[in-house]
Structure 1
């Protein structure tokens, strides 16, 4: 594997994310020899129903990065309108879509965006429409279920 410009940029961004990580986020490589696969642990933000939870996420960078967006998946199950309820935990959000991604975007911005949607879901961009409906129309029920899932799936370190 040659060191492409993309690889250098990824290494630099990895350094930024490890040395000065966004609040409540820890980043490490799955394998030190592979800068394209990151393991992320995100603490549920205090002001969200995910508070107290520790969520594992996987960030994958395409070899064409930064010209193609990263993909990010929740490895920990989470009850959220913007994350699929299946075992993939996929997210499809604004800046991560190939038609909206811009090469100047940085991974730290992606991580902050994910953290922000835990606080304030983007219900207009929902993957799970049922969960989005509940968030809109029965917020107490949504919060209760989100807390139960957090306790059940995300309470371990």
Structure 2
């Protein structure tokens, strides 16, 4: 009996998943949320050493559109965290996850945005580079980190 043909996006995602499982990106582990759904991936992200995130394991989701790789996937942290490029919802704000439109308000060039030649590996490397910002000098870093936590705590309290 012949195997059913997979849409090209599923073939590509299957190849990417196998490649990432055989040769993983350092600091990440990827699996399918549901074995029958190649469009939803679970990502485990291990906080890079010598950063504020060291020793923390974050969970995230990658959701792929049917027309992947022509449109970018959505990347969302499921673990609550604070980072200037991560919204309260967990959505990640990085240029390569934005569709390539000319939007002068964004501060991004279309060339910095998603291209079909990019892949999950480039997304993971971009996310880990966000988290790799080194700790500042001990006291300066601690003050900055605690001030950030305080601002966030105050801003989350209802008035």
Q: Indicate the TM-score class for this superposition, using the shorter chain for normalisation.
A: 0.7 to 0.9
Residues 83, 89 of structure 1: 8 Å contact kept = yes
Return 5+ residue gaps in structure 1 as ranges: 122-137, 148-157
Alpha-carbon deviations, 1:61-109, whole Å to 9, x = none?
Answer: 0001000001100000111000012xx2011211110112100101011
Provide the residue aligned with 1:91 in structure 2: 92
Provide the residue aligned with 2:109 in structure 1: none
> Counterparts in 2 of 1:75-114, with a 5 A limit?
75-85=78-88, 88-99=89-100, 100-114=113-127
Task: Give the structure, 1 or 2, with the largest relative contact order (CA under 8 Å, sep 6 or more).
Answer: 1
When normalised by structure 2's length, the TM-score is: 0.75
When normalised by structure 1's length, the TM-score is: 0.76
Change (3 A) 1:146 1:73: farther
Return 5+ residue gaps in structure 2 as ranges: 101-112, 135-139, 150-159
- Give the structure with the higher percent helix: 1
1:140: Cα distance to partner?
3.5
Aligned with 1:114: secondary structure?
A: helix
Q: Name segments (4+ residues, structure 1) moved above 6 Å.
A: none
Aligned with 2:127: secondary structure?
A: helix
Residues 47, 58 of structure 2: 8 Å contact kept = yes
Report how many residues are paired: 130
Larger-Rg structure: 2
